[in-house]
Amino acid sequence: MLISYLLLFLIILYILLSWWKIDWAFLVIIFILPAYLIRFNLFHIPFTFLEIIFLIYAYFWFFENYQKIFKNIKDKIQALKEKKRTSFSSYPFSLPIILFISSSFIALTVANFSNSALGIYKAYFIEAVFLFIFSFNFLIKNGKEKIIFILSLSSFFLSSIALWQKLNGLFWSGGGDRVSSIFPYPNALGLFLGPIIVLLYFYIMHQFKNKKIKIKSLDSLKIVFLVFSFFLSILAIYFAKSDGALIAVSSSLFFGSFFINKKFAFTFSLIGLITLVFIFSQNNLKTYILEKIQLKDFSGEVRKAQWKETYEMMTSSPRLFIFGTGLSNYQKEIKPFHQEGIFFNKDHDPDFRRKIVIFNDKYKAEHWRPVEIYMYPHNILLNFWTELGLFGVFAFLYLIIQFFYFGVKLFLKNKNNIFVLGLIFLMIEIIIHGLVDVPYFKNDLSFLFWIFIALMGVERVLEDKKYE
């Protein structure tokens, strides 16, 4: 009961803040993205705290901007009547977004409008795309610095909790000495912090390269905090032992640094060479890294089993191949194809495959590991294929390709724009991590994804205005 009153008090405070300072209210949403973990029922309808805050903001935003919205719609209708050439929307990425939303609605119908499907459709698609609109308008009005600072503040608090857990031995209940901060599992921390780490690194490099840092100023203090938050976040994903995040982040930072300038290219080439020599001189370390890359550890074997059974399911009928399972239907549809467990070569026995076939039940039992049915197949393309079908995969790829097209074009125009370079490699980080995980289908991650899309969209719009 006390928690209910506290949440009600916070909601009232947020209503007052939205009425008083709408821009501050938006920054609160960015800061509390992990608040989706607070769940409750309101009039017997399930909600998250993040969703309530988002809906309050949406109400005040539309109340403040409804005249501009209706004027824009009226102008476009008039232009169509007069057969004037006009874009469908003033927002960048408008066509892939329309396709994306359309594919999610088709997936909702495939799932027969079930309650769980409606919840996912509402949170991961409708609300997430509206957040893109809100983010875009905020960025046009206020610039990117405030959003970046708030994201760094959020990562700082999450990382601080993870470090505190490590120091106090408060590890994840799933086993091992892994931390998870406020999240229910360690990889969730890596999925959230990974792209923010890349964003902070390239933003900091952008500030230094373009000499935007003034000594003994508030800006210099902010940069110091961003640097501290950057390193603390790296420590957090290291202590979380989120291998996917560590590989994705290190790859993006390493290869992205080559494009900053010639000195960085030389330095990171030397670091890479020294690192490779060190790794291959240590047999245990070499074996560990190769197992991770080749997916030969237990987690990797589970992923490969998931992908195999998912492919078998998706190619078992034209309906599934074209339309997918529908939103929130993966676990139900995969059951007939699911392996209840796998045989894992924990002892690195070179004769493992033969022994599994001919050895007794005791040997098999020692090497058999149960595998649960996960919510998603843990691969970014398979995730979208199963949930949204081929149409959804096409919409997602169209969006990502356009994102990279805008980013590369902007960077080639101005190679001092290291921030755009950061956005490119931020998306690369998401894709790399997405090869073995689920970087979109979660409340905070879907919101975060569209904030990044908005950042690239605004960079493109501001560049276009220079040549008007």
Q: What is the pLDDT of residues 295-354, one digit of tens each?
A: 888 888 899 999 999 999 999 999 999 999 999 999 999 999 998 888 777 767 676 666
Whether the pLDDT of residue 58 is over 80: the answer is: yes
How many Å apart are CA 434 and CA 381, to the nearest integer?
A: 8
CB-based contacts of 213, cutoff 8 Å, min separation 6: 207, 219, 220, 223
* pLDDT for res 341: 83
How many Å apart are CA 167 and CA 170, to the nearest integer?
A: 8
More confident residue, 44 or 122: 122
How many Å apart are CA 14 and CA 326, to the nearest integer?
A: 35
Confidence of residue 213 (pLDDT cuts 50, 70, 90): low
Confidence of residue 89 (pLDDT cuts 50, 70, 90): very low
How many Å apart are CA 383 and CA 375, to the nearest integer?
A: 9
CB atoms within 10 A of CB 448: 25
Whether the pLDDT of residue 102 is over 70: the answer is: yes
**Environment class of residue 329 by beta-carbon count within 10 Å: exposed (0-12), middle (13-18) or buried (19+)?**
buried
Whether the pLDDT of residue 442 is over 90: the answer is: yes
Residue type, 22: I
In this structure, of 76-90, 143-157, 169-183, 185-199, the range with the lowest mean pLDDT score is 76-90
* pLDDT for res 436: 94
More confident residue, 205 or 467: 205
Residue 202 in contact with residue 256, Cβ under 8 Å?
Answer: yes
How many Å apart are CA 384 and CA 275, to the nearest integer?
A: 36
Confidence of residue 88 (pLDDT cuts 50, 70, 90): very low
Residue the block writes with tokens 């034209």: 318
Whether the pLDDT of residue 153 is over 70: the answer is: yes
In this structure, of 286-300, 369-383, 453-467, the range with the lowest mean pLDDT score is 286-300
How many Å apart are CA 30 and CA 362, to the nearest integer?
A: 53
CB-based contacts of 322, cutoff 8 Å, min separation 6: 389, 390
CB-based contacts of 141, cutoff 8 Å, min separation 6: 23
Whether the pLDDT of residue 208 is over 90: the answer is: no
Give the 3-state secondary structure of 190-218: HHHHHHHHHHHHHHHHHHHHCCCCCCCCH
In this structure, of 149-153, 252-256, 276-280, the range with the lowest mean pLDDT score is 276-280
How many Å apart are CA 100 and CA 400, to the nearest integer?
A: 11
Confidence of residue 368 (pLDDT cuts 50, 70, 90): confident
Whether the pLDDT of residue 448 is over 50: the answer is: yes
* pLDDT for res 26: 97
How many Å apart are CA 408 and CA 414, to the nearest integer?
A: 10
* pLDDT for res 184: 93
Domain ranges, ordered by start, for the chain: 2-66, 298-370
For range 394-422, the mean pLDDT: 95
Residue 227 half-sphere exposure toward CB, CA atoms < 13 A: 11
For range 390-414, the mean pLDDT: 96
More confident residue, 72 or 235: 235
SS3 (DSSP) at 331:
helix
Residue the block writes with tokens 């676990």: 331
- Whole-number average pLDDT of the chain: 88
Partners of 240 in the beta sheet?
A: none
Q: What tokens does 159 get?
A: 């990382």
Residue type, 420: V
For range 392-421, the mean pLDDT: 95
For range 59-77, the mean pLDDT: 76
Whether the pLDDT of residue 467 is over 80: the answer is: no
* pLDDT for res 90: 67
Summarize pLDDT for 124-146 with one digit per residue, the tens: 999 999 999 999 999 999 999 99
For range 409-429, the mean pLDDT: 94
